[in-house]
């Protein structure tokens, strides 16, 4: 049964990637926040659907008025303050993963909803990388992540939902193969990170699986989903969505999934996308 708003128009469940889609290097254009507010006022549900854990989402974003969050690339789902899903590595898998990461000199962070953990050497290396960056916006974005990290040398008790590697002697997908079939890896969605950076996550967990948890809870169907993204970890949700919005300049395999191509957040492209799809009226 189609969900209708008070005007008799179909309601949609909108899922917005954060980095490179809703925000530009961690900064959300005011026009994007206003578009989310307008979409809500017309009866649509709006979720932030990010590869980041909630612990790395800037505080200001929570004031944007999202109905919920699909975070850590699908491992965590929250709606109206209720946690619907929180999947993490088992203790044994976490120990195995850290053993291989450390043996190969990886510089990594361990992501959980409440905090993101790393060692001081990683902070020092990432700080130096940010200082060398020739892109001031990218450097500010990376500093925003650094400011949110929890530093501790003993990481053995952490059960992460995802691991982001900043650098290492071998590509992260090679390490994932060594760790075992329980995990998979993709290149990092943050271009601010160094060469060979990537994200390691539980196999079978992605933004689309998180979206399924969210829409099942709120009673929406697959065709009601509007997904907007630009990075490697957005592929599954763009394939799943009833309507897919892809940011211009994204990889060809993502653009091939697009029902609509939008300008990036530096140009507040989601506003035009929302208007084109009939989600809001033009400001």
Structural domains of the chain, ranges and CATH numbers in brackets? 13-87+206-276 (3.40.50.1000), 91-202 (3.30.1240)
When the pLDDT of each residue in the chain is averaged and rounded to a whole number, the result is: 91
Nearest to 78 by CA among 48, 52, 115: 48
Question: What does the pLDDT average to over 208-221?
Answer: 98
Q: Taking 80 as the threshold, does the pLDDT of residue 8 lie above it?
A: no
The percentage of the chain sitting over the pLDDT mark of 90, rounded to a whole number, equals 75
Give all strands (DSSP E) within 8-157, no chain letters: 13-16, 45-49, 68-71, 76-79, 82-86, 107-111, 116-118, 149-151
Classify residue 135 by its DSSP letter: -
The pTM assigned to this predicted structure is: 0.90
d(CA 187, CA 166): 10
Structure confidence by residue, pLDDT tens digits, 232-271: 999 999 999 999 999 999 999 999 999 999 999 999 999 9
Q: Taking 80 as the threshold, does the pLDDT of residue 2 lie above it?
A: no
Which comes out higher in pLDDT, residue 188 or 109? Answer: 109
**Are 113 and 243 within 8 A, CB to CB?**
no
Give the model's pLDDT for residue 128: 85
Q: H-type helices in 83-188, by residue range? A: 91-103, 120-132, 136-148, 172-179
Q: Taking 90 as the threshold, does the pLDDT of residue 143 lie above it?
A: no
Q: Taking 90 as the threshold, does the pLDDT of residue 139 lie above it?
A: no
d(CA 243, CA 228): 9
Structure confidence by residue, pLDDT tens digits, 160-200: 999 998 877 788 889 999 999 999 998 776 555 555 678 99
Q: What confidence tier does 4 reach under pLDDT thresholds 50, 70, 90?
A: low
Q: H-type helices in 149-226, by residue range? A: 172-179, 207-218
Q: What confidence tier does 34 reach under pLDDT thresholds 50, 70, 90?
A: very high
Question: What does the pLDDT average to over 103-114?
Answer: 93
Give the model's pLDDT for residue 1: 42
Of 4-8, 134-138, 154-158, which has the strongest mean pLDDT?
154-158
C-alpha distances out from residue 47 to 37, 65, 66, 72, 229, Å? 12, 9, 5, 13, 13
The percentage of the chain sitting over the pLDDT mark of 70, rounded to a whole number, equals 94
Dihedral sign for Cα 236, 237, 243, 248, please.
negative
Number of other residues whose CB lies within 10 A of the CB of residue 99: 13
Question: What does the pLDDT average to over 138-157?
Answer: 88
Structure confidence by residue, pLDDT tens digits, 269-279: 999 999 999 99
Structure confidence by residue, pLDDT tens digits, 54-80: 999 988 898 878 999 999 999 999 999
SS3 assignment, position 131? helix
């Amino acid at each position: 049964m189609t969900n209708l708003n008070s005007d008799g128009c179909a309601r949609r469940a909108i899922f917005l990637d954060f980095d490179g889609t809703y925000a530009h290097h961690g900064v959300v254009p005011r026009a994007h926040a206003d578009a989310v507010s307008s979409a809500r006022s017309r009866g649509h549900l709006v979720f932030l659907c990010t590869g980041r854990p909630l612990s790395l989402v800037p505080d200001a974003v929570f004031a944007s008025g999202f109905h919920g969050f699909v975070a850590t690339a699908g491992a965590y789902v929250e709606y109206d303050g209720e946690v619907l899903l929180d999947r993490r590595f088992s203790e044994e898998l976490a120990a195995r993963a850290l053993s291989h990461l450390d043996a190969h000199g990886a510089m990594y962070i361990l992501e959980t909803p409440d905090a993101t953990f790393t060692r001081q050497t990683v902070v020092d290396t990432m700080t130096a990388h940010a200082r060398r960056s020739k892109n001031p916006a990218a450097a500010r974005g990376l500093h925003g992540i650094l400011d949110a990290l929890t530093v501790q040398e003993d990481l053995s008790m952490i059960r992460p939902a995802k691991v982001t590697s900043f650098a290492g002697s071998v590509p992260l997908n090679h390490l994932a193969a060594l760790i075992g079939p329980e995990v998979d890896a993709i290149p990092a969605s943050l271009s601010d990170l160094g060469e060979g950076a990537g994200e390691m996550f539980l196999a079978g967990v992605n933004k689309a699986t998180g979206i399924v948890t969210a829409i099942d809870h709120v009673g929406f169907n697959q065709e009601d989903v509007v997904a907007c993204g630009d990075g490697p970890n957005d592929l599954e949700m763009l394939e799943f969505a009833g309507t897919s919005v892809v940011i211009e300049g994204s990889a060809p395999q993502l653009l091939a999934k697009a029902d609509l191509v939008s300008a990036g957040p530096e140009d507040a492209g989601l506003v035009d996308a929302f208007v084109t799809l009939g989600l809001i009226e033009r400001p």
